[in-house]
Each structure stands twice: as C-alpha cells, then as structure tokens.
Amino acid sequence: MSHDQNFKNLIVDYPHQAVQFFAADEAAHVDQSVRIIPIREEQLKDRLGDRFRELDTPLLVEWPDGRRTALLFVLEEETDTSKFSIHRLAHYCLDLAELFETDRVVPVAIFLRDGDPAASLTLGGDRYDFLTFRYLACALPDLPWEAWRDSDNIVARVNLPNMRYAPSERVAVYALALRGLVQLEPDPEKRLKYADFVDIYANLTDAEREQYERDYPEETKTMQSLTTRMREEGERIGERRGIQLGEAAMLLLLLEDKFGPVPEQVRAQVEAANPESLLRWSRRVLRAESIEDVFR
C-alpha cells in the first residue's frame, strides 16, 4: 500500500476540496472560480534538474482577476513523522518560489500518525536571524471525527477513518465516510476508487465488517450494487476489447500476407482502431494494390 499515491490521487482528483480541508487557514478565498493546477513531477524534474526534491503534490493556485498573485500549495504526506524533514520542505519551497517567480508559497504537511515534528526552522548567527520558515500542519489523528462527520467536503469525509475516534466508533466512522462518498461523488468509478481508500484506512476486522453490514443495510446494498455493476461493465469492456484485438490481429495477418512486413506506425494504428474501422480496412485488403490504399 502506498500512502503517498493514495493521497496524490485524492489531491489531484479533488484539488479545491483538498486545499480547503488541508490548508483551511489559507483557503478562505479559494472557491470554484479559482484555477488549481497540479504541477507534474516530470515538469519539475526537467526544470529543477539536480535540485529537485520530491514531495507529493504541489498545486499552483491562480486568481485570474489579478487581485492576488500565484500561490503555491505544497502538500507533503508523511506516515512516520520521524521521517519528516523541515529542511527538505524549506529547500523545496525556495526552489518553487524561484521557479515560478513568486514569494507566495504555502507549505502544508499532512500527517497520518501522531508525533512531534519540528514546527519551524530559523537560520542565523549570534546577532541576527536570517531565515525563518514554518508550515501548516494537518495532523489527521488530532482531528475529532465528529466535527467532520456531516461535512460536504469529500476529502474530509473519506478521511474520517484517519481522524481521532474511539475503537468502538470505527464502524460508524466507516459508514459515514462511505455515506458521504455516495452523496458527494456522482461518478461510479470514483465512488469505487475512494471506497477502496476508506477501506484501507478504516481497516475493519471481519467482526466489524459483519457489524457494518448488519447495522447499515442500505449503505451495504448500495456499495454491493455499485461493485457488481462496475465488475459487469469491466467484463463487458474486456470482452469487447478481446474481440477487437482478435480482429486487429487478423487484419495484420492479411496485410502481411499481401504486402509483407507491416510498418510499426500502421501496426499501432490497427491495434488502436475501433471495430468499424477494422471491418472497413479488412474489406479493402482484397482489392488494394498497396498498404496505403487500405487506409486511404
């Protein structure tokens, strides 16, 4: 299990909600009119070169009306707070500030475990402090789950299992996280994706799962129906894709028999084609005088 990838997915899929939840102190004016762009790691590696220090999900937040300059939210997830490096975070923020020519950088660290990481960093000599750095810390285990149980922020709802609750409340936490997911996310694929997220972090025992199915029959029925529907759709897609690949393979054999070795570009075109195109090209093979005639 990759906590890093789980939270990357969550932040990229729901950037506005992630900023509003993880960086609430700085997100008062971040609404749907504000543009939030996840910055690709590949882009940073190319432009920062050897200076690149990998963190999880930098977001570029822009107000297009010009009232505010670009603002960078840097979110770093650390499962083990002892591995958290405030020096690394400070380095990274300075790199991003230079790269994007802005001094508006808001670093946010998300913690999944209790701990006591350094909250600030000061560099200086005997007489002066020359650099002071701190960040926003979102320690999920410190948040009481009751405060977020009915939130309309989907990032908060799926993170209920990461918040503070009594062991006896785990099933209720799990149920309300899934209920929020169903209420707030209309896309069936994302529902299933983040149902897995909730499953991972709730980590119910067999007895707790039986209790959930007994105490929350409607939610159980909804999720089971969703899982069945998505599985059936996946099987249909797989079946169609299998037929398509078979038709593509047959067309490639026909092309080879008549024209010799098939160029890689043509092979890629055939393998990516829809069934209608494959049928049309297969009919043309018989009367075509060149491989170009087939695809003309």
DSSP state of 82: G
pLDDT digits (tens, 9 = 90+) for 33-68: 888 888 765 555 555 554 445 556 788 888 777 655
- Strands annotated E in the chain: 35-38, 57-62, 71-78, 105-111, 120-124, 129-134, 136-139
Candidate ranges 105-109, 155-159, 199-203, 260-264; pick with highest mean pLDDT: 155-159
Q: 54 with 41: CB under 8 angstroms?
A: yes
Q: How many CB atoms lie within 10 A of CB 20?
A: 18
Distance CA 76, CA 153 (A): 20
Quick one: tokens of 110? 């998300």
pLDDT digits (tens, 9 = 90+) for 103-151: 888 888 888 888 788 899 999 999 999 999 999 889 999 999 999 999 9
The residues, any chain, with a CB within 8 Å of residue 69's CB and separated by 6 or more, are: 63, 102, 104
Distance CA 229, CA 215 (A): 23
Range from 152-156, 219-223, 225-229 carrying the lowest mean pLDDT = 225-229
